[in-house]
């Protein structure tokens, strides 16, 4: 069976994926590229060598490369994704898919014209916690899902320049995606408020006055979910949380990102209230569907010692709770099997557009904004 030749572009956060591609049994040649020669060399050395590209254009022009995974700065995602698809290659891109509805449409159209795969590499949808909640849903343990909540608290004051002043919900995908996944529906409408104030120099860059945004999303199937994203000047320990409230059981993320979740089970009534039993529940590792070569990437501490980012260290599971190996496997297998990946342009488009529309609503002081369908 043919192996997939993959190029990984952008090796900051992207560095954590290099070893996974290198060890994936269905990947042939791995090519790495970063505009920083130092980062490129260090990453290649860390994984024991890979082919190095001199430029992004070299990757686009190389017919031997089948697929490109972009982990570059946010403002580059849309243009680079369109270029990869137009070069006739499959494209995976880290979050967010884009920062405007127009750019999401460009990607959807480039994907359709190319006939290649697009996947948005949303980490929260492959965490131990998401797998666990999904299994609870499949077993009917929630009863009726009544309400959902998502959170992403991360004070990103020291991140690269393009982050400074970023509208919180332009990077709200980690708070939004698990709610859409668990709803089995799509977000169709949002009301959002911005809150707080931040330094004027941060306001200037994107014309965004808010360090925190909080939104109520409406799903096509009638469910509602609330999500909050804090990005600057807000003291809160890091957490990318998912909270699912059912009629029989509820799942709530631990206080800090690495804490075990709390599962509440509703019992008989004591005459007035139903008796609720809450248990802190350690998560199992859902590694068995992965090739054995990748199992070790779902446990342990840190597969990218070059990156100081917290989420690559906190909790067990190689950063982001074991998700990286699952993301790579789904992208690679979907290309080989010539099928859509789970987080395709429609799902990724809804996750990203819901955040873009939430920020639009916040700028209009909470007016409802319809989320277009992609
Ligand atoms: N959980 C997640 O899904 C998650 C976590 C962190 C970051 N991210 C996303 O990953 C992306 C990168 O984040 P980061 O923290 O590494 O950012 P960063 O800005 O620190 O690093 C980006 C890397 O890309 C390189 N680069 C810049 N321009 C390039 C170009 N034109 N071609 C190739 N390489 C280029 C830089 O030299 C740097 O090494 C962002 O888009 C961010 O949204 C996602």
Q: pLDDT (tens digit, 9 = 90+) per residue, 257-268?
A: 989 999 999 999
Dihedral sign of CA atoms 100, 101, 102, 105 in order: positive
87 Cα to the center of ligand 1, angstroms: 21
* Predicted local distance difference test score (pLDDT) of residue 299: 80
CATH topology of domain 127-289+354-370: Dihydrodipicolinate Reductase; domain 2 (3.30.360)
Ranges 203-212, 249-258, 308-317, 326-335: which has the least confidence:
308-317
Name the residue with the closest Cα to ligand 1, atom 2: 123
pLDDT at 316 over 60: no
- Tell me which residues have their CB closer than 6 angstroms to ligand 1: 9-13, 33-36, 39, 56, 71-74, 76, 94-95, 123, 160, 320
108 Cα to the center of ligand 1, angstroms: 22
Closest CA to 351 of 132, 177, 156: 177
146 Cα to the center of ligand 1, angstroms: 36
Ranges 219-223, 247-251, 286-290: which has the least confidence:
286-290
pLDDT at 347 over 50: yes
Name the residue with the closest Cα to ligand 1, atom 18: 12
Looking at ligand 1, which atom is closest to the CA of residue 36? 37
Q: Which pLDDT band holds residue 304 (cuts at 50, 70, 90)? A: low
CA-only gyration radius of the chain, Å:
20
Mean pLDDT value across residues 323-343: 97
250 Cα to the center of ligand 1, angstroms: 35
Query: pTM score, two decimals?
Result: 0.96
Ranges 153-162, 187-196, 206-215, 312-321: which has the least confidence:
312-321
Query: Does 96 sit behind a cis peptide bond, omega within 30 degrees of 0 on the bond before it?
Result: yes
Homologous superfamily (CATH) of 4-124+293-304+317-343 is: NAD(P)-binding Rossmann-like Domain (3.40.50.720)
Q: Give SS3 for 69.
A: strand
C-alpha triplet 120, 7, 299: angle, nearest 5°: 65
* Predicted local distance difference test score (pLDDT) of residue 2: 87
Q: Which pLDDT band holds residue 134 (cuts at 50, 70, 90)? A: very high
Name the residue with the closest Cα to ligand 1, atom 13: 13
Cα 109 from Cα 335, distance rounded (Å): 19
Q: Give SS3 for 336.
A: helix
DSSP state, 96?
A: P
Cα 81 from Cα 70, distance rounded (Å): 8
What residue ranges of the chain are covered by domains with CATH 3.30.360.10? 127-289+354-370
71 Cα to the center of ligand 1, angstroms: 5
145 Cα to the center of ligand 1, angstroms: 36
What residue ranges of the chain are covered by domains with CATH 3.40.50.720? 4-124+293-304+317-343
Which of 73, 98, 127 best tests ligand 1's pocket when mutated (most atoms within 8 Å of CB)? Answer: 73
140 Cα to the center of ligand 1, angstroms: 39
pLDDT at 231 over 50: yes
pLDDT at 44 over 70: yes
Q: Give SS3 for 330.
A: helix
CB 51 within 8 A of CB 64: no
CB 199 within 8 A of CB 205: no
Ranges 293-302, 307-316, 328-337: which has the least confidence:
307-316
C-alpha triplet 155, 156, 161: angle, nearest 5°: 155
Interval 351-363: pLDDT, tens: 999 999 999 999 9
């Amino acid at each position: 069976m043919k192996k997939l030749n993959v190029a990984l572009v952008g090796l900051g956060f992207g560095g954590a994926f290099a070893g996974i591609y290198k060890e994936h049994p269905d990947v042939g040649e791995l090519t790495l590229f970063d505009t920083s020669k130092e980062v490129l060399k260090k990453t290649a050395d860390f994984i024991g060598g890979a082919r190095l590209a001199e430029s992004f254009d070299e990757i686009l022009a190389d017919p031997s490369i089948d697929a490109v995974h972009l982990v570059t700065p946010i403002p580059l995602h849309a243009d680079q994704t369109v270029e990869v698809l137009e070069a006739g290659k499959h494209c995976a891109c880290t979050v967010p898919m884009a920062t405007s509805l127009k750019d999401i449409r460009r990607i959807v159209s480039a994907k359709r014209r190319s006939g290649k795969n697009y996947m948005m590499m949303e980490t929260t949808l492959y965490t131990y916690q998401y797998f666990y909640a999904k299994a609870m849903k499949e077993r009917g343990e929630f009863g009726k899902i009544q309400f959902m909540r998502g959170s992403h608290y991360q004070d990103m004051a020291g991140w690269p320049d393009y982050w400074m002043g970023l509208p919180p919900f332009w990077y709200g995908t980690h708070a939004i995606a698990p709610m859409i996944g668990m709803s089995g529906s799509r977000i169709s409408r949002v009301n959002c408020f911005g809150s707080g104030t931040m330094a004027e120099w941060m306001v200037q860059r994107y014309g965004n006055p808010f360090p925190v945004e909080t939104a109520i999303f409406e799903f096509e199937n009638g469910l509602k979910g609330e999500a909050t994203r804090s990005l600057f000047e807000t003291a809160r320990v890091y957490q990318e949380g998912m909270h699912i409230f059912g009629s029989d059981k509820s799942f709530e993320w631990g206080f800090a990102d690495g804490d075990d979740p709390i599962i509440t089970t509703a019992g008989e009534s004591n005459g007035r209230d139903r008796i609720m039993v809450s248990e802190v529940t350690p998560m199992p590792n859902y590694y068995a569907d992965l090739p054995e070569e990748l199992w070790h990437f779902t446990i342990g501490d840190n597969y990218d010692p070059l990156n100081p980012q917290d989420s690559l260290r906190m909790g067990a599971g190689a950063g982001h709770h074991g998700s990286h190996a699952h993301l790579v496997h789904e992208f690679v297998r979907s290309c080989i099997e010539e099928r859509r990946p789970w987080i395709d342009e429609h799902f990724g488009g809804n996750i990203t557009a819901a955040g873009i529309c939430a920020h639009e609503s916040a700028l209009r002081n909470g007016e409802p904004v319809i989320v277009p369908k992609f």
